[in-house]
Amino acid sequence: MIKTIKKLALLLVLLICMSKTHAQSEKSIEQLQKEADAGNKEALYDLAYRYIDGRGVVKDLTKGFNLMTNAVKKNSIEAQNTLGWLYENGYGTTKDSKKAFYWYQKAADNGFPAGQSNLGNCYQVGRGVEIDYEKAFYWYQKAADNNRMEAQANLGKCYEYGNGAKKDEDKAFYWYKKAADGNYAYGQFRLGLCFENGIGVESDDKMAVYWYLQAANKNLTIAMLNVGICNQYGKGVPVDYTKALYWYQKAADDNDANAQLRLAEMYEEGKGTAIDVHKAFYWYQKAAEGNDPMAQNAFANCYENAIGTSYDVNKSFYWFQKAADNNNKTAQRNLGRCYRYSRGVDGDLEKAFYWYNKGLENNDVYNQSTYEISIYLAECCEKGIGTKMDLQKAVERYYDIGIKYEKYDFKMKANQKIIEMIKNGRIDMNHFETIASYDYLVLLLAAVEAK
């Protein structure tokens, strides 16, 4: 998810920067060239964009940059904004974020709405200037008041997250709605999130999917992903795996790693399509190479279990390691298993303990697998396996298992471990002073006496 958001932020920046508010003429290249040679700033601007776009001429970014510079010299405010964009992206010139900021500032100070929006973005992300959310908010507000839709959407985010202004979800919703009503795809997407999560409005899944669909039909990748999710899980629409597959495919083709992962799962499970493990493997690989941690773990499983490919324990270890390094908890536990049982790597009980332990930090998954790992880690502390012997930690781990795992047999097994340690004289009641309630100790003592 984190990567999808970063990708969306980059896309938004490009959309903002490439905004062309100037109504380019349909004059011939010859006519524009003649007027440009005469020093006409509008002709210089239009001709520059022709070379930047490659419209009616061979695309030539350097020539476009030079013509845009000449338009700036003739005091074209639009050219100031566009020159900032050229510097920002290194089109026709060396990439220079400070010069980009300088020209956006010029355009903004001259009252050009696109320049104001772009300047706000510079302050928001620290492009050519130190991050300053208050100044970002100020310029987004100026541009939003001048009906710049991307600025309206960004102003909404400022209010939603309290960046540069006091957090105000009602105002966030207002500005997202303004941008959405202006047919701006990202504004429509953000409005969908408001309806889904009850931000400035009552939750309404039907309205959420409506606005996601509006943005998805404009080819906004993250909106396509969300429409797929809504169709897969029946949020605001009936469950429809075929539609979910369609939208995941579109977003996956746009290189969204989350969509690629979900598409792979659909092919593996046969949802909305026939089971196809080879396509599942293909999309798991695409998402894994896109640095999605969940996909990396799933891709490792493909090699470990020969799903759509041949069995290769070395490659499974490699991808478990990648996912574990990206803080995927399941992969960290899988990596611990690799070190414990020498799967794709030489056995190393210290590393097994380390990765098992990492994989259970802040754990909220309580099943057979995590239970067995928890018991193993407690036993490691009790017996000094892969870590130094520490009976206090062993008791704390066994006690924690008994509290967190609701299944009766899980609790009984954990408590039995503690009872055995007491009976063998390895621990006493002092080990429970800071962790257990009085009632628990009474029951535990009764159990020991009964034994």
**What is the pLDDT tens value at each position of the chain, 451 positions in all?**
444 444 444 444 444 444 444 445 578 999 999 999 999 999 999 999 999 999 999 999 999 999 999 999 999 999 999 999 999 999 999 999 999 999 999 999 999 999 999 999 999 999 999 999 999 999 999 999 999 999 999 999 999 999 999 999 999 999 999 999 999 999 999 999 999 999 999 999 999 999 999 999 999 999 999 999 999 999 999 999 999 999 999 999 999 999 999 999 999 999 999 999 999 999 999 999 999 999 999 999 999 999 999 999 999 999 999 999 999 999 999 999 999 999 999 999 999 999 999 999 988 888 889 999 999 999 999 999 999 999 989 988 988 888 788 775 777 787 788 878 877 778 776 766 666 555 565 555 565 555 5
Kind and range of the H or E run holding 315: helix 313-325
Range of the structural domain that residue 70 is part of: 22-111
User: Which residues are within 8 A (CB) of 91 and not within 5 positions of it... i.e. 6 or more apart?
Assistant: 52, 61, 64, 65, 85
Query: Does residue 31 lie in a domain region?
Result: yes
Q: Nearest-CA neighbor of 354 among 372, 335, 327, 326? A: 335
| Crossing angle of helices 77-89 and 113-125, rounded to 10° | 30
> Is residue 34 a part of any domain in this protein?
yes
The count of structural domains within the chain is: 1
Q: What are phi and psi of 395, to 5 degrees?
A: -60, -45
Residue at 341 is within a domain = no
Q: How far apart are CA 287 and CA 240, in angstroms?
A: 23
Q: Would 155 be classed as within a structural domain?
A: no
CB 256 within 8 A of CB 223: no
**DSSP per-residue string spanning 20-48:** --S------HHHHHHHHHTT-HHHHHHHH
Whether the CA torsion 394, 399, 404, 408 is positive or negative: it is positive
- Do the domain assignments include residue 60? yes
Which residue, 223, 222, 241, is CA-closest to 231? Answer: 241
Closest CA to 201 of 230, 236, 173: 173
What CATH number did the domain enclosing 46 receive? Answer: 1.25.40.10
> Among residues 304, 366, 303, which one has the least CA distance to residue 329?
366
The answer to whether residue 45 sits within a structural domain is: yes
Is 54 part of a structural domain of the chain?
yes
* C-alpha atoms less than 13 angstroms from C-alpha of 264 in its C-beta half-sphere: 27
The dihedrals phi and psi of 223, each to the nearest 5 degrees, come to: -70, -40
Q: What is the CA radius of gyration of the chain?
A: 30
In terms of DSSP H, where are the helices of 326-407?
329-341, 349-360, 368-383, 391-404
C-beta separation of 110 from 80 below 8 A: yes
In a domain, 317, yes or no: no
445, HSE (Cβ side, Cα atoms, 13 Å): 11
